Amino acid sequence: MAASPGKRNGNERAEMKYPWKVAWITGASGAICGEIARRLADQGVRVAATARPSERLEALAASSPNITAFPADVLDAAALKACAAKVEAELGPIDLALLGAGMYVPFDIRAIDAEGFRRTMALNVDGVLNGVAAALPAMLDRHAGHLAIMGSLFGYAGWPGNGGYGASKAAVINLAESLKLELRGSGVGLTLINPGFVDTPLNASYDPKKKLFVMSKERCARKILERLPKRPYEIAFPPQVALFLKTVRNLPRAVSFPLVRWFIKATGA
């Protein structure tokens, strides 16, 4: 759906708090990215909201004159490329591509859900890669732009019940590191966003007693948007969880495994 002239005029009147004119967001119909989309739109950023066609996506677009729905499946690389091109044709160059489509499937070692594992890897890894492939070439040509990739702190350390999700987010963290190294001097920024637990439908199947330091989607979106304009390599929070999981990552395994087991016993996580 094209942005109407009314949308553009409304946008031009708005005071810009963020350094982006156009933000393309995948997973925009979801909890965290939907909240980010609304906050950006409130400040005059033109938001191109991508998810599969749904009433949720339409409702998001209807909530602000600065949000336009660009439905696409992130698993379809060609369709996602066409989607990014359509965003640029209709709204202008993508300044920020926030790649947030993702999912969680429980991992039970006694009944391994191989299909769920594959779907998680496909959405969380291929979905991000397809988004990068769709947005990055034009950014490189312009020597400008900002890629922001949704990872998770649980990509830093193996965790019981997290075999699929953790593996996918570990891949995303590694992908982000490779991209960051290669993007040096290109004018294109890259930020890896690694939250801890956020209260959203994504982890509804996760035992609530095990979600330590869980935060609301509003708090999560605020934390991300406070820091994202500065284009840091990583935005990781809450700090207690980030420190613990990154420490676990860097310790010798003979120390990290007992530490994680002790932590789980002590906290019920």
List active site positions: 165
- By CB under 6 A, tell whether 152 contacts ligand NAP: yes
Min dist. Cβ of residue 61 to ligand NAP (A): 13
Min dist. Cβ of residue 220 to ligand NAP (A): 8
Whether 122 contacts 71, CB under 8 Å: no
| Residue closer to ligand NAP (CB basis): 53 or 258 | 53
Min dist. Cβ of residue 153 to ligand NAP (A): 7
- By CB under 6 A, tell whether 121 contacts ligand NAP: no
Min dist. Cβ of residue 226 to ligand NAP (A): 17
Contact set for ligand NAP, span 204-263 (CB under 6 A):
none
Which CA distances in Å does 183 have to 139, 151, 257, 265?
Answer: 11, 18, 35, 42
| Residue closer to ligand NAP (CB basis): 3 or 98 | 98
How far is the C-alpha of 191 from the C-alpha of 201, rounded, in Å? 24
| Residue closer to ligand NAP (CB basis): 187 or 208 | 208
- By CB under 6 A, tell whether 97 contacts ligand NAP: no
* Per-residue mark of binding to ligand NAP, 19-38 (x: CB under 6 A): -------xxxxxxxx-----
Instruction: Please compute, for residue 71, the number of CA atoms within 13 A of its CA located in the half-sphere on the CB side.
Output: 11
* Per-residue mark of binding to ligand NAP, 49-78 (x: CB under 6 A): --xx-x-x----------------xxx---
Min dist. Cβ of residue 112 to ligand NAP (A): 20
The DSSP annotation for 198-264 comes to B-SGGGTTS-GGG-TT-B-HHHHHHHHHHHGGG--SEEEESHHHHHHHHHHHHS-HHHHHHHHHHHH
Using only the alpha carbons of the chain, give its radius of gyration. 19
Which CA distances in Å does 18 have to 5, 7, 9, 45, 195?
Answer: 22, 18, 18, 7, 21
How far is the C-alpha of 184 from the C-alpha of 190, rounded, in Å? 10
Q: Interface residues with ligand NAP (CB under 6 A)? A: 26-33, 51-52, 54, 56, 73-75, 100-103, 123, 150, 152, 195, 197-198, 200-203
